[in-house]
Amino acid sequence: MVKVLVTPRSFGKHSDEAKELLEAKGIEVVINPYGRILTEEEMKKEIVDVDGIIVGVDPLNADILSHAKNLKAISKYGVGTDNIDLNYCKEHSIEVSITRNANSDSVADFAFTLMLSVARRVVEVDRACRQLDWGKKTSMEMFRKTLGVVGTGAIGKGVIKRAKGFEMDILAYDLYKDEAFAKEYGVKYVELDELIQKSDFISLHLPATEETHDMIGPREFGMMKDTAVLVNTARGELVDEDALFDALKNKKIWGAGLDVFKKEPPENMGLLELDNIIIGAHSGASTFEAVNNMSRMAAENILKNLLS
């Protein structure tokens, strides 16, 4: 019997459709037995005899993959493949797929939610009210401000579409420009430095690569407006967290909203003590709709690559 390991904890959480798709094809589905992200040693143990893996952010480096004797396909539950050794997979004819656009709307919603919440100090106001402090806290508007979108893939474009309802001026940075989209939505592509200097709100939507590692660091924070809001719903590796802490603590920028960190929880625990940051638990894609979409697409991808 063909065996598939499923590691994401939210897989099929709100619907049996995805699991039933696999079982209808005679596939044995092995659900993550640990109830959390697997360690390297646990992954080595679990993948020994599987034919396919539906994987979240669990590690799949070359050392781990070398323990898989029957592995033919990996279906990423999401789009970021930085936890998978793609070179090893290519060399060993292991098909790798992603659930492209399955959670784009959910993450775009969350990015916009973070921008609004940081600007209007929503969490601070809520926390004060729970302590019976009804004092007013001055905040900032988003309407007709300048938004800088770093990365114009599906999620970045989703943020741009939402921003048009706020009549925002939109700057964008991407090595691969979509000029037709930019023309339709009034987006101006600029260099990253210009975007950082001119934007009131900056939203990051790039993968983690050698080139993007710590791309927002001391230099970039030094160029931002003191009223700037930084939001990251992409990858924690994009932001130098110590530089972020310094910028927030010393009021070099207005605030930040982060749904991702290099490690969860972050190594710089001082971030958790600041009032001008809103922290998410990598939950931008955690909606009923996105979970169902990703589960179904991940199952369809693994079926296509295992049975075709």
* pLDDT at residue 78, rounded to an integer: 87
Q: Which residues pair with 188 in a beta bridge?
A: 171
Question: Are 298 and 214 in the same domain?
Answer: no
Same domain, 178 and 301: no
Q: Shortest CA distance to 63 belongs to which of 49, 47, 78, 51?
A: 47
Q: Is the domain of 87 the same as that of 168?
A: no
The upper half-sphere exposure of residue 148, i.e. CA atoms within 13 Å in the direction of its Cβ, equals 23
DSSP structural state of residue 59: -
SS3 content of the chain, % helix, strand, coil (to 5): 40, 15, 45
- Check 40, 91, 184, 264 and give the catalytic one: 264
Classify residue 88 as exposed, middle or buried by CB count within 10 Å of its CB (0-12, 13-18, 19+).
middle
Annotation marks residue 9 as catalytic:
no
* Catalytic, out of 162, 220, 235, 237: 235
Write out the two tokens for 222. 């030094």
Which tokens belong to 253? 């920028």
- Please say if 235 is a catalytic residue: yes
Length of the chain: 308
| Residues 236 and 110 placed together within one structural domain of the fold | yes
> Model pTM?
0.86
109 and 42 assigned to the same domain: no
Within 10 angstroms of residue 46's Cβ, the number of other Cβ atoms is: 21
295 vs 13: CA distance, rounded Å: 9
Peptide bond into 59 cis (omega under 30): no
Distance of alpha carbon 274 from alpha carbon 67, whole angstroms: 43
**pLDDT score for 79:** 84
> What pLDDT is stored for residue 32 in this prediction?
95
Do 118 and 243 fall into the same domain?
yes
Burial zone of 185 (CB within 10 Å; 0-12 exposed, 13-18 middle, 19+ buried): middle
Same domain, 28 and 122: no
Clarify whether 220 is annotated catalytic. no
Domain that holds residue 73: 3-102+287-307
Residue partners of 23: CB distance under 8 A and separation at least 6 = 29
- The token pair that represents 164 in the structure block: 């048009």
Q: Hey, what are 32's tokens?
A: 């993550």
Catalytic residue among 282, 289, 296, 300: 282
Residues of the chain with pLDDT under 50: none
State the pLDDT at residue 308. Answer: 75
Q: CATH number for the domain including 75?
A: 3.40.50.720
Same domain flag for 135 and 262:
yes
Q: What would the pLDDT profile of 72-101 be if each residue is shown by its tens digit? A: 999 999 888 989 999 999 999 999 999 999
